[in-house]
Structure 1
Amino acid sequence: MAPHATRRHRAGGSRLLAVLAYLVAAVCILPMLAVLIASMSGGTDTVAHLMDTVLPRYAFNTLALVLLVALGALAVGVGTAWLVTMTRFPGQRFFEVALVLPLAFPAYVLAYAYTHVLDHPGVVQTSLRAMMGWGPRDYWFPEIRSLGGAATMLVLVLYPYVYLLARAAFLQQSASAFLAARALGKTAWQAFFRVSLPMARPAIAGGVLLAVMETIADFGTVAYFGVQTLATGIYTSWFSLADRAAAAQLALCLLAFALLLAILERYQRGNAQYHDTSKRQHGMPPAELSGWRAALATLFCALPVILGALLPMAILLEMALGSEQNLLSRRYIGFIQNSLTLASAAAIVTVCAAVSVGFYQRLRPGKPSAAAGYAARLGYAVPGGVIAVGLIVPFAAFDNALDAWMRARFDYSTGLLITGSIWLLVGAYMVRFLAAALGAYEGGQSTVHANMDAAARSLGQTPLGTLRRVHLPILTPSLLTALLIVFVDVMKELPATLIMRPFNYDTLAVQAYRLASDERLEGAAVPSLVIVAVGLLPVILICRQVGRHR
């Protein structure tokens, strides 16, 4: 091939990557712009009505839930991370890995399990009444269907975010500063709060913010418990009230809150850094616990594992065995096929989008590619309900405009070509989970040395050829991890699926939500168990990594 033809071929490959990267970034930004524009269509009357009626209550409940989950995840995640990393007690090696298990459970699945046991007709209160001879009004019992109950469910499944990051930070700390504090007369607790905890603050803050962003995106738990938040308000306005403008305005409020948290996460990650300036790095010597201290440490680490994984699994199994749901029936096979189809398609599309954006940033470093990468990551901070509203509004307008034009010109109705299709739902999943796939891809890409790219170019490879023949074979494990993460996240996703799914196209998550909404909790246990079983796959991978990096 002539030199000028080779240059033209290479430029063509670069242009294709650029087009793909910017197209992905545009799709990720589209829902936010659409929500902003749609929120203005309702005028000030809708906004005033929301302010006078539901918005203060939605905002208060959302903020209260965020605060409770942040404090709970912080206490459980940091406490368990410190104990398994810096101390030795019976079961420490087991809890080091087992504390990750609750990540496999969606919070709404825990809500179904604990409601079945702790609600008024549940086994706990029924046994109390039988033992004590109490009537329904003779005693007080904590209400599981409450703001506090929702916060507890979310803490039990989200604290592993804080645990994993805090544990990694504690493992990387040198003992020098901690031992210096002890030499100056500080107790172990004082040294922990004044030295070790501040040094791990950036990682801990990142974990807490991840938990908080998952909290504001949650719909299944708060909807089932009857806690009115901005997330439930969007769904109610869209379906129950058929007020699209109000739904868009509530989505804008939730979007603003989510983006504020994303900015805070980016700010603290970029500015709050702590370094050990000592030249010699010594691992922190673990403290041997005995007696009541060892028993207390074992109990503190056992409770999250029991309450967040083992007990819910036992409850779900008991519920499923007593239900009339047949997992092998044609109906359930359809739910499983729908879930697998959506999850597989979304995983493939999302990972391809992550490769396009990530490799373009490597190929053309600079402000434009960095901006495309940042836009692609914004979706992790945007709740599924906001993305659903933001995609349906513009594509419904496009479908209606195209249908009107075809009727006028050709007397033919096209109907809704995009709205209500599987592919629009897959696009919503891509926007929501692209950041996770990008993180996994870029983690592997960092192991590919720049000299490999230079060698490939010197051998006449185009950018796409370098990606196909050099990067992708090396990054196969990272890409498989990204596929698995997105696959499981889509299996668990509920709000966007509820709003955007095609007619009569239900998934396991939707079926579990519908049965639970009808108070058929035993039936809801069957699809919930399948979701949890699939969710265990990435958790097992994480557990293996945790076991390796002790």
Structure 2
Amino acid sequence: MSCQRFGVKLLTVCALRSTSICINAFSRYTAAIARRFVYALLMFKTTSLISTRTISGGIEQAPFAHTSVYFFAALTALPLLVLLSSFLDTDAQIWAHLRRYVLPQISLNTLLLTVGVAALTAVLGVGLAWLTAMFRFPGVRFFAWGLMLPLAMPAYVLAFVQTGLFDFGGALRELAYTLGLADWLPNVRSLPGTIMIMTGAFYPYVYLLARNAFLTQGQRALEVGASLGLSPRQAFFRVALPLARPWIFAGVLLVVMETLADFGVVAITGVDTFTTAIYKSWFAFFSLPTASQLACLLMLLALVLLVLEQRTRKARRYLPTGRQAMIRRQKLHGWRAAACFAVCTAVLLIVFVVPVLQLSVWAWQESQGEFDWRYFGFAWNSLSVSLMAAAIVLSVAWQIGRVQRQQVSPAMNWAIRISTLGYAIPGAVLAVAIFLPMAWLDTRAAAWLDGSCWFSGSLVALLAAYAIRFMAVGAGPMQAGWQRISAHHDMISHSLGVSGFALFRRVHWPLLRMPALTASLLVFVDVMKELPITLMMRPFGWDTLAIRIFEWTSEGQWQQAALPSLLLVLVGLLPVYLLARQRDDKF
């Protein structure tokens, strides 16, 4: 009997070991395939799309690039048409209730929230970018990349951590009661508190783009301003800020769209906006058409913002001065250096360090029980799908920026606007709008296939939803980067015999490397944090860290949600750090 037990144990160990070896080999094999796929994708985008070209106005044109932009616009228009078709079924009673009791309040709250977050993120992001790009003070090399760390923290995670700290029973609330300062603490469950939380979560969008703009402007523009008698403050407002305008507008536009489509933060803080009205129409009134109709109003607002943002940059060119005149940072002394250090330290403590410490305390308290090893699988799922989505978005955003640089037709302008419109649609509504046509394709394909779901509930549908949702995130930096490349670059290169792939490798890529990395980072981090689309469209049994956080927070278990939240933050820190360090090495 003992020999039989020993044999069974030996066979079990051997089976587990062989399974582990097979899994490791399979993961290495899939990683190799992924690397080859990305390389092939880049080669396809840089050879077939560049080699088949014509010359117009000194700028190389890739006809297939126009086709790819039109194709993605059509792909984005499909769920938009599904949403617009909801107006064929209008519930008069629900809309009467919304017009009388809901729409006035949510319209005012959405307007105040959007304007407040946009204004504060613009001031905070541009101010911090100017300090870290133009001045030398203690800790500036750390703050240059450290101020981008809040990108790795989802807004809904920051919201529930700040609520846990400042709400009744929280650590900071108890400390304030002890010190007699309870009346000075802000109320996070209010509109001003929501504005502050979203500002802390979204300001890195503006900071990242604005700092890149300041670093690539060069020193000569500021020297010309000084030669005209401008003071450093006047040079900032009249020279540096106008040159950085396309980057700043792109960052603020991302913040506005993120604010309009956010649901997690406003649900935690209890502020009613358009997104909460959409969810209530769906789950309280059980009226998906009404929810889709409210989402159409958000789309209309986003389209207006896109048109205004593009018209402000129409007929303008923002050109870098080159490597020969890089920025020379001014060294600060005394109270100015101390003030800059204190401002950067306070921002980083409030929006990242203290929340991470609180998550660590909660995670340590919950780790006394049995550790769930599935978290590593959740982290791998989050990482892999984010990388694939970032590659897809970057390849399309590259073509959008390349096409918009040329003299395009009105139809192409509308195609570009439609391609970037998905960012203003709430994730859950977009998931339903994509799921419906995918389910229709499944029913039509069931007669020829084995009856399984090939489209809905697949990784392809999930990646398509990510691409539609976050195309504006990747297109903003790429459009700003392409706009700063003059046609003279191409004409001079042609006169030297450089064209096609050589032009891409030797001229375009060095100038667009930082915008491309910035776009990849923003998309990667946003996909990591995306919850509604992943929850509704993921393949069966395929969970991510965001899904695990939702499962705990939906039950009010804040401390149990700390460990997956902390893992999500840690996974998102790596690309933020690598991009920041590469930027510092370059400048």
Q: TM-score range by the shorter chain?
A: 0.7 to 0.9
Shift of 1:244: 0.4
Question: Structure 1: how far apart are the matches of 2:498 and 2:327?
Answer: 41
Q: Which amino acid aligns with 2:530?
A: E
Within the candidate set 223, 246, 252, 1:175 is matched to 223
Q: After TM superposition, give the deviation of residue 225 of structure 1 in Å.
A: 1.8
Alpha-carbon distance between aligned partners in 1 of 2:333 and 2:560, rounded to the nearest angstrom:
45
Alignment of 1:339 with 2:387, yes or no, is no
Aligned mate of 1:316, from 359, 363, 368: 359
Change over 3 Å in CA distance of 1:260–1:385 after alignment to 2: farther
Q: Unpaired segments of 5 or more residues in structure 1?
A: 1-9, 458-462
Using the TM superposition, give the Cα deviation of residue 58 of structure 1 relative to its aligned residue in structure 2, in angstroms.
2.1
Once the two structures are superposed, residues 1-54 of structure 1 have per-residue CA deviations (whole angstroms, 9 ceiling, x without a partner) of xxxxxxxxx99xx99887665433211121222211113422544433321232
The corresponding residue for 1:425 is: 462
Q: Contact 1:222 / 1:228 at 8 angstroms: preserved in 2?
A: yes
Cα distance, 1:154–1:491 mapped onto 2, change above 3 Å: same
The farther-off stretch of 87-96 and 370-379 is 370-379
Q: What residue in structure 2 maps to residue 220 of structure 1?
A: 264
Aligned with 2:527 (options 479, 485, 490):
490
Aligned residue runs from structure 1 range 10-49, under 5 A: 22-49=70-97
1:225–1:179 distance in 2 versus 1, CA, 3 Å: farther
Find 2:572's aligned residue among 530, 535, 546: 535
Residues 215-224 or 196-205, more deviating: 196-205
Does residue 62 of structure 1 match 2:110? yes
Distance 2:392 2:249 in 1: 31
Post-superposition shift, 1:428? 0.7
Distance 1:93 1:64, change over 3 A: same
Q: Deviations over 1:445-479 (max 9, x none)?
A: 98997989x9999xxxxx9xx89x999xx899888
Q: How does 1:200-211 map to 2 (within 5 A)?
A: 200-211=244-255
1:492-521 C-alpha deviation (Å, 9 max, x unpaired): 112322344456654211221332232221
Q: 1:51 aligns with which of 61, 76, 99?
A: 99
Is the 1:323–1:522 contact (alpha carbons within 8 Å) kept by the matching residues of 2?
yes
Retained in 1: the 8 A contact 2:209–2:477? no
Kept in 2: contact 1:83–1:297 (CA 8 A): yes
Would the alpha carbon gap of residues 341 and 302 (structure 1) be closer, same or farther in structure 2, given more than 3 Å must change?
closer
Answer yes or no: is the 8 Å Cα contact 1:154–1:215 preserved in 2: yes
The answer on 1:265 being equivalent to 2:302 is: no
* C-alpha distance in 1 between matches for 2:317 and 2:403: 28
Provide structure 2 residue ranges, at least 5 long, that are not aligned to the other structure.
Answer: 1-51, 54-61
The one-letter code matched in structure 2 to 1:388 is A
How many matched pairs? 514
2:203 is equivalent to residue 159 of structure 1: yes
Determine the C-alpha separation between the residues in 2 that align with 1:337 and 1:547: 29
1:374-453 aligned at under 5 Å gives the runs 374-396=417-439, 402=444, 418-437=455-474
When normalised by structure 2's length, the TM-score is 0.72
Map of 2:152 onto structure 1: 104
Alpha-carbon deviations, 1:114-169, whole Å to 9, x = none? 2222221111222344565x9xxx96742222222222121112222222333344
Q: Which residue is 2:28 aligned to?
A: none
Question: Residue 379 of structure 1: CA displacement?
Answer: 3.2
Cα distance, 1:233 vs structure 2: 2.4
Shift of 1:80: 2.0
- Report deviation, 1:391: 1.7
Q: Is the CA contact 1:387–1:428 (under 8 Å) kept in the aligned structure 2? A: yes
Whole-Å Cα distance in 2 between the matches of residues 480 and 394 of structure 1?
A: 33
1-structure distance, mates of 2:246, 2:229: 21
**Does structure 1 conserve the Cα–Cα contact (< 8 Å) formed by 2:147 and 2:344?**
yes
SS of the residue corresponding to residue 188 of structure 2 reads coil
Secondary structure of the structure 1 residue equivalent to 2:169: coil
Q: Which residue of 1 aligns with 2:191?
A: 147
- Give the TM-score normalised by the residue count of structure 1: 0.77
How far apart, CA to CA, are the structure 2 residues paired with 1:517 and 1:325?
22
Q: Does 1:232 align with 2:276?
A: yes
User: Residues 393-418 of structure 1, C-alpha deviation per residue, up to 9 Å, x if partnerless?
Assistant: 44455657x49x97xxx9x9958764
Could you list the per-position Cα deviations for residues 428-448 of structure 1 after superposition, in whole angstroms to 9, with x for gaps in the alignment? Answer: 101122344557778699899
Q: Would the alpha carbon gap of residues 366 and 288 (structure 1) be closer, same or farther in structure 2, given more than 3 Å must change?
A: same
Distance 1:22 1:80 in 2: 38
- Equivalent residue number for residue 241 of structure 1: 285
CA offsets 1:64-91 (integer angstroms, 9 cap, x no match): 1112211211221222233334444333
Q: Percent identity?
A: 39
Change (3 A) 1:245 1:146: same
Question: Are the aligned partners of 2:247 and 2:477 in contact in 1 as well (CA < 8 Å)?
Answer: no
Map 1:245-324; keep pairs closer than 5 Å.
245-270=289-314, 286=330, 288-291=332-335, 293-324=336-367
TM-fit CA distance, 1:217: 2.2
| Whole-angstrom CA distance in 2 between matches of 1:314 and 1:121 | 17
Distance in 2 between residues matched to 1:487 and 1:265, nearest whole Å: 24
**What is the rounded CA distance, in whole Å, between the counterparts of 2:249 and 2:394 in structure 1?**
27
CA 1:364 to 1:287, structure 2 compared with 1: closer, same or farther past 3 Å?
Answer: closer
- 1:324 Cα offset (Å): 4.5
